[in-house]
Chain A
Amino acid sequence: MAKFGRKGKGGMPGISTASLPDIVFMLLFFFMVSTVMRETTLKIEQKLPGATEVKKMERKSLVSYINIGKPRPTFQSMYGTEPRIQLNDAFAKVADIRNYITAEREKMDEKERPLMTVSLKVDQKTKMGIVVDVKQELRKASALKINYSTRKVEVIE
């Protein structure tokens, strides 16, 4: 032991790992609270356009989503490469939108129905034709509050 006599004096004492679970739990709770689970799987390619004047959407429960874009490669054999509409988990036609809006409206509280917002998540390469058709259908279904979903950018290119 004499040979290794210096060992006890020099060197740093090991860091106590007793507080590690506490730190990890803290992080865990942060992520648990901030997590928003993705409800639907996107079957379309979607790169949202950028805009500078964006506003945050206030209440998620009042928002229904309509996705439009080119089908992902795995679905292209079945659905082609033309932009298509996706409602919830399935591809849909323009005519299906009215039923979708009615169904979404039914889910809401009666008081909140006038506040319903439809968020259009449209790929930036999509042509306006399909978007216009969708907007017309929304007007017919009297879902007049819409939101063009965009990314926040500092300058538009």
Chain B
Amino acid sequence: MARKSKETPEINGGSMADIAFLLLIFFLVATTMDIDTGLSRQMPPYNPEAQESKDEIKERNVYVVLINSNDQILVEGQPMNVHKIREAAKEFIVNPENKSNLPEKRPVEIDFLGEKMVSKGIISLQNDRGTSYGMYIKVQNELIAAYNEVRDEVSMREFGRRFDDLVKEKQDAIKEYYPQIISEAEPKNIGGK
């Protein structure tokens, strides 16, 4: 008992850095920094009985975008490059000169904005079973971009801010002014792929 040491020896802290490095390297390797990003869409409920009642919608109110199995695009009967869709869709959505071949408008009372003429336009996107997913996303992206640009413009005009910087109530008001309606018809299988 006489040789009992008075205090326990201190643990050597020199190797702490090594241990920490080991853990650090593990986490460095295991890390995936990617945050999930994507285009959000809402699908209509499945209802096999209620088939499309297209005849109620006037032709001028529908903007038909077709993609065939060779990834070629037909917009309102005209072949179009994917990069031109954005501008063309914007004209359809806004219809600034109230042309007779572009969608009708109806007056709607909206919070913050007062009475506005809201377009009845619908964008109808139809693809083939042979369309590549990449092209489909490009077209979807351009159509969403058209809506986003229109909303940004009206937001700058009305509130002096970008749409993303607005409070939710004002965003909703603008969404009501320019509702995003992209309808997807059942795809055809013409390309046979």
Residues of A near any B CB (own CB < 8 A):
17, 20-21, 24-25, 27-28, 31-32, 34-38, 49, 51-57, 60, 63, 117, 119, 122-129, 131-132, 135-136, 138-140, 142, 144-152, 156
Determine which of A35, A54, A119, A126 lies in contact with B133 in the assembled complex, contact meaning CB atoms within 8 Å: A126
Whether B38 pairs with A148 at a CB distance below 8 angstroms is yes
Q: Does B42 contact A (CB under 8 A)?
A: yes
Top 7 A-B residue pairs of the complex, sorted by shortest distance between their CB atoms: A124-B134, A129-B129, A139-B46, A31-B27, A54-B37, A51-B141, A49-B137
Residue of A nearest to B17 (CB): A21
Whether A156 pairs with B129 at a CB distance below 8 angstroms is no
* Complex Cα spacing A20 to B128, Å: 60
Whether B133 pairs with A53 at a CB distance below 8 angstroms is no
Give the B interface residue count (CB, 8 A).
Answer: 47
Chain A residues lying within 8 Å of B24, measured Cβ to Cβ, are 24, 27-28, 31
* 27 chain-A/chain-B pairs, Cβ below 8 angstroms: A25-B20, A28-B20, A31-B27, A34-B33, A35-B27, A36-B31, A51-B39, A54-B38, A55-B38, A56-B37, A57-B35, A63-B36, A125-B134, A126-B133, A127-B130, A127-B132, A128-B129, A128-B136, A129-B129, A129-B193, A131-B133, A136-B46, A142-B46, A144-B45, A145-B43, A150-B39, A156-B83
* Complex Cα spacing A38 to B36, Å: 12
Residues of B near any A CB (own CB < 8 A):
13, 16-17, 20-21, 23-24, 27-28, 30-33, 35-46, 82-83, 127-134, 136-138, 140-142, 144-145, 148, 187, 189, 193
